[in-house]
Amino acid sequence: MSHEIDAILLEDAKLNLDELAGSCQVSREWIIERVQWGLLLDENSITSDPGAWLFDSRSFMRVKRIIAIERDFEGNPELAGLVADLLEEIEVLRARLKASELNED
């Protein structure tokens, strides 16, 4: 029986490849494939050594979201990445709308 624990990560916390894979209950290869497809990390953060990659809390949440999309909708990784991008953009726009409404009061 596996026990999954989601924790709030501090914004400045960094996870290496093994820590991210373990905390999200996926294989190293799963993470590496998504990085190679451009779904995780930016081009400047990618080195030839996956062991040197560092992921932040945003990456952790993105991995969890992509896992859920792939599982729930049987989507391929590229589609899951696109859906994750759109959901993140919606969150940003909602936050901006809420902030602008608070400034009007």
Per-residue confidence (pLDDT) for residue 27, from 0 to 100: 96
Closest C-alpha among 30, 94, 91, 29 to residue 58: 91
DSSP letter at 27?
Answer: -
- Predicted confidence (pLDDT) per residue in 27-78, tens digit: 999 999 999 888 887 666 677 788 889 898 888 999 999 999 999 988 888 8
Provide the percentage of residues in the chain whose pLDDT is more than 90: 47
DSSP codes of every residue in 70-85: HHHH---HHHHHHHHH
Is CATH 3.40.50.11440 the classification given to domain 15-104? no
pLDDT at 45: 67
Q: Where are the domains of the chain?
A: 15-104
